[in-house]
Amino acid sequence: MPSHLLAIDEGTTRATVVVVDDGGRIVASEGRELHQYYPRPGWVEQDPHEIWQAVRDLSRAAIAAARLAPADIAAVGITNQRETTVLWERATGNPVYPAIVWQDRRGADLCKRLEADAAGTFIASRTGLVLDPYFSATKIAWLLDNDASLRRRSERGEICFGTVDSWLIWNLTCGAAHVTEATNASRTLLMDLGSLAFDDDLLEMFGVERPMLPDIRSSGSVLGEVSPDVFGTNNVPIAGVLGDQQSALFAQGCHRPGQAKNTYGTGSFVLCNTGTEPVVDRGPLLATVAVGGDGSANYALEGSIFATGAAVQWLRDGLGLIFDATETEALAASLDGNDDVWFVPALAGLGAPYWDPDARGTLLGVTRATTRAHLVRAVLESIAWRTRDVLDAMAAVGRPVTEMRVDGGAAANSWLMQFQSDVTGIPVDVAAMTETTSLGAAYLAGLTVGIWKDYDDIDRLRESGRRFEPSWSPAQRDDLHARWKEAVERSRRWARPT
């Protein structure tokens, strides 16, 4: 019997494919950076063909690097950037427009119109989400509203919509399966969080045509089989699919209410497991599916931070201040303090708990004495302060986090992890294997096909790498937090007309 799993991790800026053995260990990994395009301020796009070709090529390379044959793969798992929207022709599989990335803000005007019609409360009660251009429905609506012929074709069922999981499954199965699963569907603004089904009222509100929608399946089920044209073998099931943040939650062993994780990627996302019922009184946070489908689910409370790793990438690619992200740790540590230099990473507006699409990235406190190290440190500090914003919001709705399990690229930065613990006042536990997003998809696929039998088996696969304990006094933490809040308010006022 095959005992290895192939996990596809299609992120915002990088695609990674890993092969995992039945001990939960990564035995091969292949990755490739993906391009993003910014045709206008606030617009972010990607090439769907590039995404698919990277995944196909990396999958073949990972199997070869593991010295396996395709027939040795027991199942495929997929995890993906959420909310990113792809439309393609059902007959040809060709995209009709670039993928509109989750960071894209072109749906802001639609959100303002719906908010003016008092639709926000209804949408939040039905979906668990806030009315924000972050989510897929605003992107679909923009595409259909700006191309009358595309709307007519979508009404006739000629156009398919999918988040990136759907796009990949369509291509892996050579068009045999147009499906999604509940964690990704819960991020569209179109799914009823209670029934786990697309909702007619929401479809009408956003002007989305039902014939273009995928079928919603359970996260841990067989959603299709990989075509022999892709891997050269038959009957490899696609057996576990999760949005990237839910996948990290799963791999971190946060299967019980109250357990929480933070993933430091392009953005950062704090998720806290809330059990089998979505949180109703959630304040400015999101209720989302953690794993499930087919009428039942585990849920999570989520705080979405749009730009954290993206801000470090901006230091590298936009400003040329660093050559590689690994330089940031030593630069930040070279200073005894921030010398009152602050950065608010509102490069794509502000997500939770502010939900302000008009906020702008803001650098404050610059003097002639400010150096490259100050700017780098300010960006790293902003990642930790934005995380505290979310944790404070969770505590305010009765869901305090007492330990945070973390993963993602920035989790390797010891200076940042200690600062994170200091500003929040809680321990930070770094996973031994920081590729948790990939591992979550592999673990769920393995659970589905019987390599592991239950959640206890999955829990035993996680190993702690490093643990950081808070060292600041509450007074020190709160004094600096007050200054941070002042900086945030400056960023929110900047773009607003007086």
Range 253-431+463-498: architecture per CATH = 2-Layer Sandwich (3.30)
Whether 345 has a pLDDT exceeding 70, the answer reads yes
Cβ 133 vs Cβ 57: under 8 Å: no
When pLDDT is cut at 50, 70 and 90, the band that residue 87 belongs to is very high
Distance CA 201, CA 385 (A): 38
Q: CA 280 → CA 22, 194, 196, 286, 395, distances in Å?
A: 39, 11, 16, 10, 15
Beta-bridge mates of residue 76: 6, 238
Res 256: pLDDT: 84
- Please write the tens of the pLDDT for every residue from 99-150: 999 989 899 899 999 988 888 889 999 999 988 898 999 999 999 999 999 9
Q: Shortest CA distance to 378 belongs to which of 418, 342, 328, 421? A: 342
User: Do 253-431+463-498 and 4-245 fall under one CATH topology?
Assistant: yes
Whether 68 has a pLDDT exceeding 50, the answer reads yes
Query: 11: which residues sit within 8 A by CB, 6+ positions away?
Result: 34, 80, 81, 244, 265, 266, 437
- In percent, the amount of the chain with pLDDT more than 90 equals 74
**Mean pLDDT, rounded, for 459-482:** 91
Res 348: pLDDT: 83
- Please write the tens of the pLDDT for every residue from 274-285: 888 888 888 899
| Residue in this structure with the two tokens 């009428």, named with its chain if needed | 295
**Vertex 349 angle, CA 347 and 353, to 5°:** 125
Res 44: pLDDT: 94
Query: 230: which residues sit within 8 A by CB, 6+ positions away?
Result: 56, 59, 171, 172, 174
| pTM of the entire predicted model | 0.86
Q: Which CATH superfamily is domain 4-245 in?
A: ATPase, nucleotide binding domain (3.30.420.40)
List the domain boundaries for the chain: 4-245, 253-431+463-498
Whether 80 has a pLDDT exceeding 90, the answer reads yes
**Mean pLDDT, rounded, for 189-216:** 94
Residue type, 438: S
Q: What mean pLDDT value characterizes the chain?
A: 92
**Mean pLDDT, rounded, for 344-361:** 91
- Please write the tens of the pLDDT for every residue from 224-265: 999 988 887 778 999 999 999 999 999 988 888 888 999 998
Res 495: pLDDT: 61
